[in-house]
Amino acid sequence: MTIIEHLETNLGLIAEGWKNDSAVGDMLQVVRFADQPFKGASTYSTIGLSESRVLLPKGTYCRQEFIFAAWDNYLAAHVASFLLTFAEYVRGKQRPLLRGDVVGPSVPVIPGVTANSVYATNPVIFPETLACYDGDETPTVIVWLLPLMEAECSFVKEHGWDRFEDALENANPDLLLLNRPPII
């Protein structure tokens, strides 16, 4: 099974895809899965990020692909552009995103939204089998990027990811809404 087959087994068939046409020879792409994780929403995934291995703090290697989910009222091309740019940025750092890592705040994730940061976590609202692809000698971890508002980003940095995830569970916000009010 390939990484694409793994994603399609867990998320359905790829609806469309994007790549950076100016990056000759770069295998990095973003694909969209319709009606995932809910009807009227889309899940976007990188493909090709896992071509590079990254060193984990415990001294072992892994590969990563990122997923990002949003309601379909956000332009798919804007979400795909964000995810391509973000994946290129992380790849350039040559270190993995770990659970609880926050990147931001920066400019809005996509034009016209209040989310301006992302939070790396396990893809808990998706099928459990999505989380890791073992079709290679080095496993590929699927990292769910949650959109954060600036106050939430500050909270994670100040109080840690475990307290933030507790707050998420208690508030139960719509994590696919990029203009939602912050939970903090």
Residue 157 identity: K
Q: Is residue 178 part of a domain?
A: no
What's the pLDDT tens digit per position in 131-171? Answer: 999 988 899 999 999 999 999 999 999 999 999 999 999 99
The reported pLDDT for the residue numbered 143 is: 98
Q: Is residue 46 predicted with pLDDT exceeding 70?
A: yes
Instruction: Tell me the helix, strand and coil percentages in the chain, rounded to 5.
Output: 30, 25, 45
Residue 183 lies in a domain: no
Q: What is the pLDDT of residues 22-33, one digit of tens each?
A: 765 678 999 999
Count of structural domains within the chain: 1
Range of 165's domain?
3-171
Amino acid at 95: R
Determine the pLDDT at residue 137. Answer: 87
Q: Is residue 177 part of a domain?
A: no
Question: What's this model's pTM, rounded to 2 decimal places?
Answer: 0.95
Cβ neighbour number for residue 38 with a 10 Å cutoff:
14
Query: Does residue 180 form part of some domain?
Result: no
